[in-house]
Chain A
Amino acid sequence: MMERMVESAAQLVLLVALAPLVTGVIRTLKARLQTRRGPQIFQPYRNLFKLFRKGMVIPQTASWIFAATPWVVFFSTILAGLMIPMVAADAPLGLIGGALAVIYLLGLGRFFLALSGLDTGSSFGGLGSSREMTISALAEPAMMMAIFTVAIGAGSTGLTEIAGAAIGQTWRFLAPAQMFAFAALAVVLIAETGRIPVDNPATHLELTMIHEGMILEYSGPYLALVEWAASIKQLVLMTLLINCFWPVGLQHTWFGFGALIGIGWLLAKLLLLSCAIVLVETVNAKMRLFRVPELLAVAFTLGSLALVSTFLF
């Protein structure tokens, strides 16, 4: 029990502290690749610090849903984050939920975010909510197919078991089933974290925004919470992707010197994945909204291929 508390606390700190850094690194790398100087990688921390000190403007039209949403989103994202293996295969709150619980907890956050988008009465909020719910619904079958594939390989939807089964099999990701499932989840990751070509996290152009549309009316500390939660969600999904498919460096427990090595590997793998995301974002243009279903259909096909190849190869 005590060990669990320590593990949870350590992972909690890692989650909330690392998430803005990942966002910052991706922004800076992207700027460099586009031959801009870009902000420093620590800029997201400064933004959060600034927002937390500000006052806020609450729309007159909004109800208590608007005030409750940042909390629900923040806590459900963190809870999901404590259910995934980050440094050690043993997820701190693995008992409380596995892969399905992570997806549904993120779904809970999204549900409230979409409600608050509609709560303000401004049409941008509704527009963002509608698109967010549509795209996430279409991403779901692909995600579930990929998770089924991974879970069938490990015999469990428990992420501790999934990561535990992968430890020591450094090159397993070269198996066809794993590669297809990885590709499917990577597309889902891009859709779920609102990145190009599905959504543009940097835009405030009204016709194209999805996530930014929903949170348009937030300001001050609430905006900080929502943005922080968004970067934690991104970190959670990225970690899930790298640790399930490429568990190199994943430790068996949080305790001992191994944890430092584990953290080192985690950072290295996150950096690699960030580079990949930056590359995808830079060489692609944002898609038309109604082309996105096609992309997600491709992801679903990849997921199905992954499943079929578990017994073909």
Chain B
Amino acid sequence: MTSVFFLSGVVVWVAGALACLALWRRPVEARRVGCAAALTGSLLDLVGSSAALVNGSSATIDLHLGNAILSWAIRIDPLSAYFNVTLAVLASAVSLYSFGYLREMEGRRNLSAFGFFFNLLLLSLALVFTASNVFFFLVAWEVMALSAFCLVSFEDEKEEARKAGVLFLVMSHAGTGLLLIAFLMLASVGATLEFSSFHHLASAMSPLWQSAVFLLFLFGFGVKAGLVPVHIWLPDAHPVAPSNVSALMSGIVIKTGIYGMARVFFDFYGPTPIWMGTVVLALGVVSALLGVLYALMEHDLKRLLAWHSIENIGIILMGFGAALMFRALDQPNLAALALIAGLYHTFNHATFKGLLFLGAGSVVQSTHTRNMEKMGGLIRLMPVTAICFLVGAVAISGLPPLNGFVSEWLTYQALLAGFGTTQSLTRLMFPIAGSLLALTAALAAACFVKAFAIPFLALPRSEQASNAREASPTMRAGMATLAVACIALGLGATWLIRIFDPITQQTIGVSASSALVTARGMALSPGTPHGGTISTFGMALIFVFAGAAFALPLALRWRRCSVKGPAWDCGLPGLTADNEYTATAFSKALRLIFSALYRPRREIQAEYEVSPYYPSAIRFESEIEPTIEKHLYEPVKQRVLAAARRMRAIQAGSINAYLAYIFITLIVLLLFGVRG
């Protein structure tokens, strides 16, 4: 059943992509067909993959078309099925949203091309998660990168879109290069290129090669995932894309890196030395913290969300790193707990980040700006968008009872349990990571107070914001789907945790869910003796009961004796948008506290006519220093350019010289050949 649904999903996506090309001059039909195909394909994929996940079975589809090196083999095992479900849930909501979102672009942009690449992206994502042959995987990986590139720089009349697209492509290919080397090194140990024969294959390598291949995989997949320090393309590329593409990019495209790591580290590698887990955990902590710190300084709504993707990838990798460490320490149950924490957060992040990007898309479409300082008061004009965005904001801040809280809680529990597993000083990593996770989560909450309050609350700060209109019905439906998913993943945690059993069975060899659920399926426990418990469902139940029994009746009664009045404006004549706290002001305190990292620069120029007390115009400029770009990438870039300048000496342009080079190369190669 899984194979049938999965294949029909693939067929629908292919058909959708081709149909969009066929409708080249008919944008209305191209939009409808493209979105409908994407939606249908996603729903088919959802049915097929959920069946595989619930049954815990694997399905193999081999069309016997390829050869020994490139076989088009598809294998849907529990891990693949899990990422496919994530993809399908997000993609169906985004496709639904796109019906309305793309209407705005009709006639102005080539929607046929958009529909083509959109379906191609979904197709390649599904294949990346299921390809079971090295070269098939890399082909799908490249198609994904290229279709994502085309979608990111879709609005190619903007310079920033072109620049971000190229940066994405360069980084992505650098990552693919690392992956190619790593896969070939790994495959040289085994006899075939099929993933099915790769299980624990890395253990057959010498420790040095094992480490080298591990690092190649970590950074190769890390580029796509947005791991610090190879994240630099992400905050540029995600915001410039159309918002439905941003939702897919942040929600699922970066998760292909996470999938790759899960596949390689837990399937292809057996128990690894502990330092590998420590490195992943440490990089996770750094990514999470830097991601949120830079997000706090952003006033571009979509760029802010992009930085938060880096933060959440960090949180996911904290789970993965802890899982690797536990496997090294021979603690399979804890490893399962940590892996579940990471995987759960992967799904959760897909839902709430997808939701937030869709919400941001509605806001940007109706205000025509990404700058939060020009928004405000949208909660009255766009009530549904506002409430969906609020759900996403609460979820991403890790606040109960929504899904972000559940996965962060699982991560805390894994880190807490880690302290007792070893006597070496490595164990200090766990509590330090835990407290920095707490800092990250609290800063994320601060950031989302800003990201929700500045655009949606108080008074509109610009003409565009006061003329904003609510998103179209399909857009609202797309957002509502993901909001419901956030709530369901939060409240239904004890029921959903069971789907991880086949995955942990496959990767670590234990089933954890029975230990993770206590109190007749009502509460979640870390599975360690005396572990604390949480029940998000119980919390929600109490909130709903208290709200219905007390809040509603009393609020209605108090409403009768309340009057509307002006807010305190210090006695000035009326409160205007100029009095409001801005996003810059909101993050000022943190900008000063973390100034060692940000190195903020600000410039104020005032023009006077009469006296310095009455400036006629003030120009204010403030920026922070991109530390990693400046200190890590800039020197490399300078070296590469310098080397290129030096190489110019041998590039004289004379054909004789070039022939000589070719001749010399040939001789050197021949000498090598003779020696070998």
Contact = CB atoms under 8 A, between A and B. Distances in A.
Contacts of B542: 75, 79, 96
Contact of B562 (A58, A101, A126, A303): A58
A294 B246 CA distance: 39
A166 to B, nearest CB: 13
A238 B70 CA distance: 65
B661 interface: no
A62 interface: yes
Contacts of A56: 558, 561-563
Nearest to B419: A152
B532 interface: yes
B547 A141 contact: no
A156 interface: yes
Nearest to A307: B431
A100 B409 contact: yes
Contact of B457 (A63, A93, A154, A161): A63
A36 B416 CA distance: 48
B425 to A, nearest CB: 10
A211 interface: no
Interface string A277-313: 0000000000001100100000010011001100000
B592 A290 contact: yes
A98 B419 contact: no
B551 A71 contact: yes
A97 B379 contact: no
A107 interface: yes
Interface of B: 379-380, 394, 397-400, 405, 409, 412-413, 416, 419-420, 428, 431-432, 434-439, 441-443, 445-446, 448-449, 452-454, 456-459, 519, 522-523, 528-535, 538-539, 542-543, 546-547, 551, 554-555, 558, 561-569, 575, 577, 579-581, 585-590, 592-593
B399 A111 contact: yes
B452 A217 contact: no
B438 A60 contact: no
Contacts of A78: 546
The 10 closest A-B pairs by CB, nearest first: A126-B581, A98-B532, A158-B532, A133-B446, A121-B458, A157-B532, A137-B442, A118-B453, A144-B438, A59-B567
A111 B445 contact: yes
A271 interface: no
A134 B551 CA distance: 30
Given A99-B532, A111-B445, A157-B532, A79 B458 contact: no
Contact of A216 (B530, B555, B568): B568
B180 to A, nearest CB: 40
Nearest to B552: A71
A136 interface: yes
A161 B555 contact: no
Contacts of A111: 394, 397, 399, 445, 448-449
B369 to A, nearest CB: 19
A118 B581 contact: yes
Nearest to A143: B438
Given A65-B457, A152-B420, A130 B563 contact: no
29 contacts: A56-B562, A58-B562, A61-B458, A75-B543, A93-B538, A95-B522, A97-B533, A100-B412, A105-B539, A108-B400, A111-B397, A111-B445, A114-B453, A120-B458, A121-B567, A122-B568, A129-B581, A140-B438, A143-B438, A148-B416, A148-B419, A148-B434, A151-B416, A152-B416, A158-B530, A158-B532, A159-B532, A220-B562, A221-B554
B398 A104 contact: yes
Given A122-B575, A123-B580, A293-B593, 4 more contacts: A58-B563, A75-B551, A96-B539, A155-B530
A145 B431 contact: yes
A158 B534 CA distance: 9
Contacts, number: 252
Interface residues of A, number: 84
Contacts of A163: none
Nearest to A130: B586
B292 to A, nearest CB: 9
A208 to B, nearest CB: 14
Contacts of A222: 558
Contacts of A126: 580-581, 585-586
Interface string A104-120: 11011011001100111
A55 B562 CA distance: 5
Contacts of A175: none
A28 B218 CA distance: 60
Contacts of B546: 75, 78
B94 to A, nearest CB: 27
Contact of A140 (B442, B449, B519): B442
B400 A101 contact: yes
Contacts of A123: 579-581
A96 B535 contact: yes
Nearest to B542: A79
B379 A63 contact: yes
Contacts of B587: 130
A41 to B, nearest CB: 27
Contacts of A205: none
A138 B380 CA distance: 33
A71 B412 contact: no
A303 B432 CA distance: 10
Interface string A53-89: 0011111111111010001000110110000000000
Contacts of B458: 61, 118-121
B572 to A, nearest CB: 11
Given A95-B522, A144-B435, A157-B531, A134 B446 contact: yes
A94 interface: yes
Contacts of B434: 144, 148
A125 interface: yes
A71 B419 contact: no
Contact of A154 (B523, B530, B554): B530
Nearest to A67: B555
A119 B565 CA distance: 14
B449 A118 contact: yes
A107 B442 contact: yes
Of B398, B452, B566, most buried by chain A (CB within 10 Å of CB) is B566
A182 interface: no
A216 B570 CA distance: 12
A233 interface: no
A111 to B, nearest CB: 5
B533 A94 contact: yes
Nearest to B586: A130
B592 A79 contact: no
Interface string A215-226: 011001110000
B580 A148 contact: no
B565 A57 contact: yes
Nearest to B398: A104
A236 interface: no
A131 B380 CA distance: 26
Contact of A158 (B522, B533, B551, B563): B533
A146 to B, nearest CB: 9
A108 B534 contact: no
Given A101-B400, A155-B529, A221-B558, A61 B593 contact: no
Nearest to A104: B400
Nearest to B379: A63
A229 interface: no
B88 to A, nearest CB: 30
Interface string A155-172: 111110100000000000
B567 A62 contact: yes
B439 A96 contact: no
A127 interface: yes
Contacts of B530: 154-156, 158, 161
A130 B584 CA distance: 10
Contacts of B416: 148, 151-152, 157
A71 B456 CA distance: 20
B562 A137 contact: no
A217 B568 contact: yes
A254 interface: no
A124 interface: yes
